[in-house]
A = this chain, B = another copy of it.
Amino acid sequence: MKNGVGCVDTRYFTFAESPDELRLETGRKLGPITLAYETYGSLNRSRSNAILIEHALSGDAHAAGVHQGDEKPGWWDNMIGPGKAFDTDQYFVVCSNAIGGCKGSTGPSSINPGTGKPYASQFPFITIGDMVNAQKRLLDHLGIQKLLCVTGGSMGGMKTLQWVASDPQRVRSAIPIATTMKHSPFQIAFNEVGRQAIMADPSWQKGNYYEGAKPERGLAVARMIGHITYMSDRSMEAKFSRRLKNGAYSYSFAADFEVEGYLQYRGESFVKRFDANSYLYFTKAMDYFDVSGGKLIAGKEISEVKFLVLSFKSDWLYPSYQSRSIVRELRKKKAEVDCFQIKSTYGHDAFLLEVEAQTRLIRNFLERVAENRSS
């Protein structure tokens, strides 16, 4: 058994607005901004071993280890730690909650210093680019000029690509996983019904619900939709088949099948830990994201960033053809790209579950990148 990173704390970095650097892409301003973040391992003397982990829609800064008094490990604990894919004996691993979120970084549920109340619907729209721009300030604070690697799956993969698009000089390598340069209408459609489910909840109140009941029913439905898209026909068959919760049909609208009970449970538990407005802001940021058409590596530049692009065979939400598009785009700019479609039946969730295959590929890739670094 590999050991984990052990007990960890979430830390908070707050910086005041600086108009030149932190104006949002919409032109609006936001500040002060707090970023929740965690680090694992140690930054080396040359500050050249830092890896930035980017979380997905419902993720947070707590990527590995456990918090005091809590048994649940971070969301990518199986990938981050001594001897793991992101080996904390070798690398300094950083993960931060994106702005717009609800896990310690400034988002719609944070207090607006101008009013003393939560921002709610006054929170400005943020883009994937804004999330990355805020993170740059955190890296400055941590004394990291250049990342050895930036990586993440799903929305985390978008932030990974955005780093390359925004500031390629600051990145040695990137591992976008199960992601895309831009959402297809199919992906936008699933996000949109999730949003509609939230906004259909009368408790949503156009986002101004923090002093009353929360739009929990709507958010639960959105999460249930999400969960289906993260799995696959085959993984659901393997996990649930048509097994009944209570042995016989109820002939009522209660959950008869185990899969129904599972989805309801996942919906209900999600609303306890996630803010509906953050769900809206994040999904909108994902839908707006588009680094296709040359924007991933701008102009005539030749990319010096090295890439490992990963996708999963059964992932129908972020299908492999989208990863192949990323690869084509990168190769046009003569970038060094490794690309793998990993066999898996887990669907989009595979980036959280296919530990062995990802570990092998990522470890080899990082070793090569790290060797090049010193040469």
Contact of A224 among B26, B193, B256 (CB under 8 A): B193
A196–B125 contact, CB under 8 A? no
Residues of B within 8 A of A290 (CB): 242
A51 interface residue (CB < 8 Å to B):
no
Residues of B within 8 A of A185 (CB): 236-237, 239-242, 257-259
Most buried by B among A192, A202, A241, A316: A192
Chain A interface bracket (under 10, 10 to 19, 20 to 34, 35 or more): 35 or more
A280-B253 contact in complex given A200-B220, A228-B190, A263-B193, C-beta closer than 8 Å: yes
Contact of A202 among B195, B202, B252, B263 (CB under 8 A): B202
Residues 205-259 of A contacting B (Cβ, < 8 Å): 217-218, 220-221, 224-225, 227-228, 231-233, 236-237, 239-242, 249, 251-253, 255-259
A302-327 interface mask toward B, CB cutoff 8 Å, 1 = contact, 0 = none?
A: 00000000000000100100000000
Smallest CB separation, A279 vs chain B (Å): 11
Residues of B within 8 A of A77 (CB): none
Residues of B within 8 A of A183 (CB): 242
Contact of A188 among B224, B239, B257, B316 (CB under 8 A): B257
Contact of A184 among B195, B220, B236, B258 (CB under 8 A): B236
Q: A24's closest neighbor in chain B, by CB?
A: B251
A237-B186 contact in complex given A224-B193, A260-B192, A288-B249, C-beta closer than 8 Å: yes
